[in-house]
Structures are given as structure tokens and as C-alpha cells.
Structure 1
């Protein structure tokens, strides 16, 4: 007899662990299948709201940052202080993700370390998850378990999504790679343990950005790019050499595809729903994903719970509808920002200059802390709109002049 669960959650990152925990707390029989030992490359930044919304103890933060530094192609440095009472929390994904998985297990989820192999169907149409337990010999028969509902939280390259959702809806990806190193001493070549540095420089990333994010005694040095053939490892090596960080020990290295656009569909209309990177919920422009992954995991758990209660597959649509209602507008705005400002070093230079504006800084941090577009100070929004429009007009004028020069030549 194949064991049956109410829900099987595939993937134990922030999204999957949150979904499994919520479903277990709701009284469902839950299995959490996770590929043990896999750590996603991640800057590790989380907003204070995450601690509140998901009952995460502040002790899990390895440090906090109170400012961000934006570095332009011409090496212009713009510091953006968070402001009084605010902070950017920093987590180490190996510690943070494991804590979330342990919590789900303590609250009733059955935790299994293993690799997802396939989604099959029983004779009555019930979903069967075939997986290979950690340490099992190659060629051995996979273990099979039945599920009334499957929640796929197994990353941007999700096997669950590939097996159940349209291939044409697969989101575009940024390839991310980082090296976690022992932190330099405070003040070393300008390094500050409470500041996140973001490099908007084409030499480090032609279409995204590079970063140096402090994690207490460790620091993440990484880069992202969607350009095929761009050498991420070489870019990180060059950044470390430029900053004098080659002498500090490398603790670990990680790489993975990061989706930057939510899928149009998160469920198969039957018994599967996806969340987190599998659903494409990493914020464009910023690359922030932890909070959105946990929010999506909770929404998927809510949808799965409603499906288990009613048996109506339409309930699975709750996950995407809830997420997009809360964050769709922010994702659209960030997507437009990335499309416009990251296209060239010339535009990135203008973008960093724009970040010197105090109104922009304040509204940026308010949106980050609260996870919604700031609604205060309507005149500040008007000022920003005028400034953005001015930049657009200036960029268009330059493009027309360049075109005229090319024709004349």
C-alpha cells in the first residue's frame, strides 16, 4: 500500500517550509520533501515585516543593515540611509531555511530528505510523487507516495512545474552566482558591516547588478545576469579583486536561476499549485525573493487547504489571485524600472543619480519595509513622476540625436 498524505510539499526553502508549516498547523497530514544540502545563492536581505508576518524571531538575523550604497558605472556612490527605526535584516540561508523546515516538522509535517523524480498518477487519477531518498543507491527504485494535493516549491527550475504547467509560461531568468566569504574587518577598503553595496556597472553585470551584502562574520559577494554566456564566476572574481577581497577565505559558492516574472498560471486545474521561485515570485529590479516566497507559500497553503475542504479545483486559483492582489502592482513597477534603467551604463548612471533624491529614498524604503507602494506624501510622488519624466525626455532626445549622427555619417 502506498502511503497517502493530504498534501505533499516539494521543496523546503522559505516558500515550501512556510506552506508545509501552515498546512500542518491547519491539521492536515503533510509531507515536506526537500533536497537536503541545497542552498540558494541569495543576498539574504529581508524586511522587518517578514519577522512579524511569519513569526520569525529576530535572533535568526545574522546582522542588520541601516543603509544601502548604490555605485554607478562612473563610480558615483550614493548612500541611502534606511532612516530612524528601520533596518534591512540579513539572514544566512543555510541557517534560516533549516530553521523553517524544523519548525514545520515540529508542528506536524513529516520531513523527508530526498530528490523529486516524477509526478505520476494512480489508476484513480490520484497524484503520486516519486522520489529518491537521500543516500539511496543509484538505479534503486524510487519511493512513491500519494497526495490529494501537491504544492510545488522546488525552485526556478521546478520539476513539479515542468510536469504540470505549460512550458510556454516558463518565466525569464536571471542567472545568479555568489561567493560567501569571511567578512573583511570594519573599514577595510571602505567595507562597512551594516551597509549593503549594489554595483550598477556593466563591467560586473551587463543587465542586472552585482552586490556585497554583509552577514555578520560572513559576506555575500555576488552577481546576476540574464545574458547568455556571461561569465558569472569571472565577474565575481573581478569584483573581489577590485575590492581587495581575494585574500579572505571563501566559505562556499552557489549558483541558480532566478525568475523575475510571476507565471500566468500557478495551478494545473486539478490538484497541483506552485509557489516561490517555481511561481516566478522574485521581484524584478531588486531581485528580492525571501519575503515574496514566504507570502506565496502561505497563499498556496491557503488555496490547498480550501481545495482539501471543498474538493473544488478552482480553489487552487486563490494562491495567485491573492499574491497578485497584494504585490502585482509593485512587481509591475519594478519590472518597468528594470526594463528602462538597466539597459545600458548610460541609463544606470542616470538611475543612480536619481537615487540621490531624498523623496525617492524615503518612498523606496517605505515600500520595502511595508511591502506595498507608499501612499503617504502624494506631492512626493508627483515630484518623482516629474523627475522620471524628465529623465525619459532627456534619454529620448539623446537617442534621436545619436540616430541623426548615424544617418549623417
Structure 2
């Protein structure tokens, strides 16, 4: 069987791209190796303000809004508090988000087959979209760039007593727990999301043990025993890959490295890059003109993240608690607080691209 577009991976990036292509009238088939989308979830599900404003997300699947952030040094003493006048973060029920995205893709006309690995026997496609994660098989088969800089993350989700405290996003910078990244606890008044990530070769212990020690020692937030969900996996932090498209296909989401190099946030880049990918793919299939693919330029996107890539390198080199404590002296100054607020609350996220105009 021949289809216009084969989308490999039924995460948010794959389903969003598939839906937009199906709405353009293309014959779209999605294959996903998992038999169910509510297993193997890796993202923490934190949506930022700009995503919430620009994309229609089902409100009943989003937790309460978070406006308060506490940045903690390794000692957990004297955290830096930042408060926004806006609703900055909402944590989603990602199993529900995936189910909603699956329904929307199918309503648009895309066929979605679960429990089907790639390559799919008997299927040929005019174009392939790789939405198959940080270690993309599509990227390798098409000769596109692959992610080389990865951290490993793990998260547990607990129910908490509603209204026990103001919704707060706690970030802990401690290279003993999370070398090269950070540990986090998001308490939105309904659930506590407790996680950490770091370079796998520098982790002092297995992730479950580190996660337990972090959770048990964290102040102020009583986390009950028994998580309701666990998730984790590799996170690309090297920025958008340079070569993410060719005449046979392109990459979206984690497969394209579309994750903030500094915060490792991937949901906003996922949706924005998928929208661009669907526009470029549609124009390319309609015109057959390979120059259309120049609009999907990973190197140009990557250039927008030079500052965050530099900060990623600084964070990666922070090897001792003493260094982290010293960094917090700068964060406690007025310029440091302004810079942190700009990074956490600013409108800058994944850059929107100008609309793709078909070349006739």
C-alpha cells in the first residue's frame, strides 16, 4: 500500500503533524510501536504560558496555573523566589493529552496504527515524518542528523491535598543529584511532580535512588507514599539538529532535537515545529520542488539558541555544590533575579517561522 505521508511515532509531535497534513487532504498513516499511548510517557507535561496562549489545549486536562517559582541551591537554604503576574505554567495529564491528540488526528482523516514498529512491511510512502523520539530510527534510515547530547530524566507524580499550599514550581540546582541539569518539584495543589535529570555518566547512583533521596529530603512539600505515575527517558539537550530534512522525509519533536537546550522544555517546540513541518511537507508534496525544503532549516533554527546553548555548557560544567552555591550569590542580586525571571517568564520560546509559500 502506498500513502502520501508516513508519520513514525504517535507522540504529540507526530499526531499534531499528522492532523495538520490530513486536514490538507493528504493520505496520512501514523505507526506507533507502543500498543497504548498511556504507557511509555516520557515528558513531564509542563506547558508554558506562550503555548497555552497560542494553541488550543483541552482545559480539563490541565492542572491549576502556577505563577510562583522557587530556585534552590544545594543547601536548600534561602531560595530565590520569583512571582509572575501571569499564569506561567500548567501541568497536563499527558495520557489524556495524547488520547485527545489521537482522536483529533483520526477525526481529521489520519489513520493511526498502534503496536506497529517502523519500518512498516508492505507500506511505501512519498514522504516520511520522523517523530520517533530522541534516538530516532527514521533519522538514521534517511541519513539525517541524530542527537548526540542526551541527559536522562525520571519523574514520579503524587496526589497532594488540594489547597494545602500555593501552586509552586521548585527548581533545585545540585550537581550531586542532577549533574549538568536540575531537580524539580511542581506542586500545583492537585499533584506533586517530583523529578530530576542529568548526564548518565555522572550520576552518583541509579535514578530511582536519587529521586527517592531528593523527594525525602525536600522541605515544605509533604509528598505521600506511592506515586500515581512514573515516567522518564532520554532528553536531547544539544539544540535543534542542523540537517532535519531531505527529499525523502523530515524530523519533528525530540527526533529533531527540538528541545530547549537550557530548560529541556520540549512541548512548545514540539507544537511549533510540527506546524512548520506540516506546512513545508504539504507544499513539497504539492509542488515537487525540493527548494521548498529550505524553509525547514535546522541550522537557522539552531542559531536562535546560541545564548541558551552557551548557558547549557556553563551548567554542564558546574561540578560541585560549592560552585552552585556561588552561582546563587549572583542570582540573589537584582540583575540575577531579572535575568532568571526573563528566562522563566519571558515570551521567548521556540521561534515561530513565517508562513511557507508554495512555489508554483
User: What interval of TM-score do these two structures reach, taking the shorter chain for normalisation?
Assistant: 0.7 to 0.9
Once the two structures are superposed, residues 331-369 of structure 1 have per-residue CA deviations (whole angstroms, 9 ceiling, x without a partner) of: 3212211211442333322333333334224423452x3
Runs of 4+ off more than 4 Å:
184-187
Gaps of 5+ in 1: 119-129, 131-142, 374-409
Is the aligned partner of 1:347 residue 2:320?
no
The answer (yes or no) to whether the contact 2:66–2:87 under 8 Å persists in 1 is no
Does the alignment pair 1:105 with 2:106?
A: yes
SS of 2:197 mapped into structure 1: strand
Distance 1:19 1:26 in 2: 11
Q: Report the TM-score, using the length of structure 2 for normalisation.
A: 0.85
Are 1:273 and 2:250 counterparts? Answer: yes
CA–CA separation in structure 1 for the residues paired with 2:329 and 2:89? 22
Contact 2:269 2:350 in 1 (8 A): no
Report the alpha carbon displacement of residue 222 of structure 1 after superposing the two structures with TM: 1.0
For residues 20 and 152 of structure 1, the distance between their equivalents in structure 2, rounded to whole angstroms, comes to 11
Q: Give aligned pairs, total.
A: 337
Change (3 A) 1:328 1:102: farther
CA contact (8 A) 2:269 2:349 kept: no
1:164 aligns with 2:142: yes
Contact kept in structure 1, 2:241 and 2:256, CA below 8 Å: yes
What's the counterpart of residue 27 of structure 2?
29
Residue equivalent to 1:219: 192
| Partner Cα distance (1:240, 1:198) in 2 | 13
Q: Secondary structure at the match of 2:178?
A: coil
- Structure 1 or 2: more helix by fraction: 1
Question: 1:276, CA displacement in angstroms?
Answer: 0.5
Further displaced range: 16-25 or 56-65: 56-65
| Equivalences for residues 84-95 of structure 1 within 5 A | 84-95=85-96
Q: Does residue 360 of structure 2 align to residue 359 of structure 1?
A: no
Structure 2: unaligned runs, 5 residues or longer: 352-360
- 2:128 aligns with 150
Which structure would you say has the larger Rg? 1
1:209 alignment counterpart: 182
In structure 2, distance between residues paired with 1:220 and 1:73: 19
Residue 53 (structure 2) aligns with: 52
Q: For 1:146 and 1:239, locate their aligned partners in 2 and report how far apart those are by CA, in whole Å.
A: 48
After the TM superposition, which of the residue ranges 351-360 and 63-72 deviates more from structure 2? 351-360
Residues 116 and 310 from structure 1, CA distance in 2 versus in 1: closer, same or farther, beyond 3 angstroms? same
List per-residue Cα deviations over 1:20-52 (Å, max 9, x = no partner).
111111121111223333343333221222133
